[in-house]
Amino acid sequence: MQTTNTTSSPAPDRLKSDWEFSEVWIDPSLCPPYVLLLLGDREGYCSIYDPAQGYKSVFSGSTYKEAELWLLEDEYEPVEGRLSASEFT
């Protein structure tokens, strides 16, 4: 009898393939500073990833403002500059 693997795959993360911009945010009170990565997509959704945890998503919001407020609440500061996906095409 032949069996078929019916294990469902995780839903693809839209931001991994459809991101519009990225920003680096740091907690400057730590040495070295703790780093988080904010990715925003073309529809305005933003997610924050933690490189120290294998780029695990630690926050998702429907707007940039929600993500920014989450970071500021924990006293993170943006690193100057934004990387745009269009720079790679």
Amino acid 2: pLDDT: 52
User: What confidence tier does 88 reach under pLDDT thresholds 50, 70, 90?
Assistant: low
- The letter for the amino acid at 72 is L
> What does the pLDDT look like over 1-15, one tens digit per residue?
454 444 444 444 544
DSSP 48-75: EEEGGGTSEEEEEESSHHHHHHHHHHTT
pTM of the complete model: 0.76
Lowest mean per-residue pLDDT among 30-34, 56-60, 77-81, 83-87: 83-87
